[in-house]
């Protein structure tokens, strides 16, 4: 799905002030894409701010050496966030995923733009630059830089490398292709360091996170004759281990170490009673469709949603939905 990046370049040329936003609990693709695009725009003489629905996690702070990433309601108020020419949303197209920034998008007079690789879309923006076949939003920013002839700085190279590497499971997922490896090869030439990035992303877990992971995996459940695996992270799990919600990231992928598992989810009980869920698939289940049934979205093999509890009733709904999505066995 080809993107008309020249139209984006024309939009950039006609404006001076930009705000970049991504989704709640931003992952490395979200933060990496924001930092990468901010570096590119600033090199063109533009003023850029990054304002997200929630703060950056400690594990990703190394991607933001300039301390650009701010959170709405904590670092920036509504009026200040609205004061821009162009507001660009990266790595999501769903109102539910922009949370507190949604009020900004509804209130601002700025030109609204989406750059995303997810299937689902709520049409947040006046202009969409989407490619649902792309493995990561970070890859789209690399492609933009190439088409525009914009130089990628070492900071941007590191951020965009991590964006692509994490969203492809460190190049293990089926979304990885020759173009992926050529793109990251270019980023390495421009300053990205895979060994250092891996250590910063995956070898700096807190003891609390390790304890939480152990607790969750001890309670792993199987359904549908072992084809579905699921995990439940309750509020007391965080209180008793000292872990934080971001510590559940990637735990769901451990489910696929079990032979026969085709799809999985992890449900996380939020402080406000809502349920945040991450879906994964390694088979024929399209979890983006499942997620849309809960007000979320994403990709065929990785998606998420946030919906109202109670938690145990939410678990039952999730199990039923995933069970129905599994194709009948021959």
SS3 letters across 111-122: EEEEEECCCCCC
Q: In which residue ranges of the chain is CATH 3.10.310.30 found? A: 208-325
Q: How far apart are CA 232 and CA 7, in angstroms?
A: 44
Q: In which residue ranges of the chain is CATH 3.90.1640.10 found? A: 5-201
Inform me whether the pLDDT recorded for 176 exceeds 90. yes
Domain 5-201 has CATH 3.90.1640.10: yes
Give the model confidence (pLDDT) of 150-165 as tens digits.
Answer: 999 999 999 999 999 9
Give residue 263's pLDDT. 97
Q: How far apart are CA 279 and CA 318, in angstroms?
A: 10
Give the CA angle between residues 18, 19, 25 to the nearest 5°: 155
Helix (H, G, I), strand (E, B) or coil at 309: coil
Asked if the bond preceding 310 is cis, omega within 30° of 0, the reply is yes
* Residue 202: DSSP 8-state: H
Helix (H, G, I), strand (E, B) or coil at 13: helix
Q: Where do the H-state alpha helices sit in 190-296?
A: 194-202, 207-218, 235-241, 287-292
Give residue 96's pLDDT. 80
The pLDDT mean for the chain works out to 94
Q: Which residue has the higher pLDDT, 123 or 305?
A: 305
The continuous run of DSSP H or E covering 233 comes out as strand 228-233
According to CATH, the topology of domain 208-325 is Diaminopimelate Epimerase; Chain A, domain 1 (3.10.310)
**For 156-185, what is the mean pLDDT?**
95
pTM of the model: 0.85
Give the model confidence (pLDDT) of 225-260 as tens digits.
Answer: 999 999 999 999 999 999 998 899 889 999 999 999
Portion of the chain with pLDDT greater than 90, in percent: 82
Give the model confidence (pLDDT) of 17-41 as tens digits.
Answer: 999 999 988 999 999 999 999 999 9
Inform me whether the pLDDT recorded for 178 exceeds 80. yes
Burial of 74 from C-beta contacts in 10 A (0-12 / 13-18 / 19+) = exposed
Give residue 330's pLDDT. 66
Give the model confidence (pLDDT) of 91-137 as tens digits.
Answer: 998 888 888 999 999 999 999 999 999 877 778 888 999 999 999 99
Give the model confidence (pLDDT) of 274-297 as tens digits.
Answer: 999 999 998 789 999 999 999 888
- Residue 208: which residues within 8 A CB-CB, separation 6 or more? 241, 242, 243, 244, 247
**For 211-235, what is the mean pLDDT?**
97
Which of 261, 208, 252 is CA-nearest to residue 232? 252
SS3 letters across 250-273: CHHHHHHHCCCCCEEEEEEECCCC
Sign of CA dihedral 90, 130, 299, 199: negative
Give residue 1's pLDDT. 63
């Amino acid at each position: 799905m080809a993107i008309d990046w020249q139209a984006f370049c024309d939009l950039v040329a006609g404006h001076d002030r930009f705000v970049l936003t991504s989704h709640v609990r931003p992952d490395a693709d979200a933060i990496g894409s924001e930092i990468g695009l901010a570096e590119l725009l600033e090199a063109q003489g533009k003023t850029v701010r990054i304002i997200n629905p929630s703060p950056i996690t400690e594990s990703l702070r190394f991607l933001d050496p300039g301390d650009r990433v701010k959170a709405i309601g904590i670092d920036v108020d509504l009026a200040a966030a609205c004061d821009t020419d162009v507001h660009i949303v990266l790595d999501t197209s769903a109102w539910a995923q922009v949370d507190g920034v949604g009020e900004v998008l509804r209130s601002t007079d700025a030109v609204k733009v989406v750059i995303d690789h997810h299937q689902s879309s709520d049409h947040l923006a006046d202009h969409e630059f989407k490619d649902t076949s792309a493995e990561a939003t970070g890859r789209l920013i690399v492609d933009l830089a190439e088409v525009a002839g914009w130089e990628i700085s070492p900071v941007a190279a590191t951020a965009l490398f991590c964006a692509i590497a994490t969203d492809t499971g460190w190049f293990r997922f089926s979304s990885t292709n020759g173009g992926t490896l050529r793109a990251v090869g270019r980023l390495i030439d421009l300053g990205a360091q895979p060994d250092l990035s891996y250590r910063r992303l995956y070898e700096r877990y807190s003891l609390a996170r390790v304890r939480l992971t152990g607790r969750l995996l001890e309670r792993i459940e199987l359904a549908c004759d072992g084809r579905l695996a699921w995990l439940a992270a309750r509020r007391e799990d965080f209180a008793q281990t000292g872990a934080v919600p971001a510590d559940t990231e990637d735990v769901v992928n451990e489910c696929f170490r079990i032979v026969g598992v085709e799809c999985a989810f992890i449900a996380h009980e939020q402080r406000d009673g809502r349920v945040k869920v991450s879906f994964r698939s390694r088979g024929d289940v399209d979890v983006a469709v499942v997620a849309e049934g809960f007000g979320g979205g994403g990709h065929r093999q990785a998606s998420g949603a946030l919906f109202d509890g109670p938690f145990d009733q939410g678990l039952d709904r999730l199990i039923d939905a995933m069970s129905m999505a599994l194709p009948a066995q021959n």
